[in-house]
Structure 1
Amino acid sequence: MVNARSIGIGMDYTASSKVAVRWAIDNLVRGGDCIIVIHVVSPKADASSAMQLFADTGSPLIPLEEFREMKVSRKYGLNPDPEVLHMLHTVSMQKKVEVVAKVYWGDAREKVCGAVDHLNLDCVVVGSRGLGLLKRILLGSVSTYVVQNATCPVTVVKGKVKS
């Protein structure tokens, strides 16, 4: 029997992160794995008590069934996309994988890399916004930073959402 893996997926509900979820489900996830959906909320966007309570370590792991409840996800300053939740629910049922969410507050680049170590991830999948060279230099690319600094294999998924 193959050992279960912990697979992190960076999620901000943009088209590129949705493509990353789809790619991970279709190409990487296998039965018995654990998918940890990593959300990073800007502290400027959310000053909730949850953020203050879990500022250093992030939220507790939130089972998918709980996270699918809008009041729970909103408590953490998130507004999940129903399509992503449906994809995650479907893979959890079809491939018998555990799906949990983890919410961090701060800089996405640093928090995703920190999650790799904190959660002992076997790999992490992130989407690419497709920034040009100048914007990547000025704004900084989360995917580039994660590739250069994460302590596990990183897959950056590029592409357009399938209709």
Structure 2
Amino acid sequence: MDHPRNVGIGLDFSSNSKRGLTWATENLIRSGDHVFILIVQPKGSETGLPHLMSLWSETGSPLIPLFEFKEEKIQKDYGLTMDTADVIGVLDNLNLHHDVLINVKIYWGDPKEKLCEAVNKLELHSLVLGSRGQGTLKRALLGSVSNYAVNHAMCPVTVVK
């Protein structure tokens, strides 16, 4: 029997990151894996969150099990304002068809740094990201989260177009 793997999936709820999630569920994740959904909120978005959340602004939230993350109140408590229904549908389907453990971890700050931090702290064996599809000039000026992760993460990184 294969050993369980820790698979991280970066999610910003864009169509590209959702494609990355779908790709990972169809091509990478296998029974027994531990799946971490990694959400990085922009720095400053933790302002105004309940006092408890300010405790996690540097280290990220505690691990949030999928059944708990599905609760609208939990999402609101962590400052998530996007529609998560389709993502939760994909995760529920993954949970139904594979014996996997799914947790969500929310960070605040620079996605490049926080995703690489997650790789190290969660001891990820693999990281999957959706490509934002920026052009060469925009990527050169602003930097690319996926490019940074490919070059700095201490595990294999798959970038899904």
Question: TM-score of the superposition, structure 2-length normalised?
Answer: 0.95
Q: 1:31–1:97: 8 Å Cα contact kept in structure 2?
A: yes
Question: Residue 59 of structure 1: SS of its match in structure 2?
Answer: coil
Partner of 1:143: 146
- SS where residue 101 of structure 1 aligns? strand
Match of residue 25 from structure 1:
25
1:157 to 142, 157, 160: 160
- Counterpart Cα distance in 2 of 1:42 and 1:50: 18
Task: Look up the SS of the partner of 1:71 in the other structure.
Answer: helix
Deviation at 1:50, TM superposition (A): 4.2
The ranges of structure 1 where at least 4 consecutive aligned residues each deviate by more than 3 angstroms after the TM superposition are none
- CA displacement at 1:43 relative to structure 2: 2.3
Q: Equivalent residue of 1:92, what SS?
A: helix
For 1:7, the equivalent position in structure 2 comes to 7
Q: Does residue 104 in structure 1 map to residue 92 in structure 2?
A: no
How many percent identity over aligned positions? Answer: 46
- 2:86 alignment partner, SS class: helix
- How many residues are paired up? 158
Q: What is the distance in 1 between the residues matched to 2:100 and 2:64?
A: 15
CA displacement, residues 48-105 of structure 1 (integer Å, 9 cap, x when unaligned): 2344201222110000010011110111111342111110011011111111100111
- Which secondary structure state, in structure 2, belongs to the residue aligned with residue 36 of structure 1? strand
Unaligned runs of 5+ in 1: 159-163
Give secondary structure in 1 for the equivalent of 2:99: coil
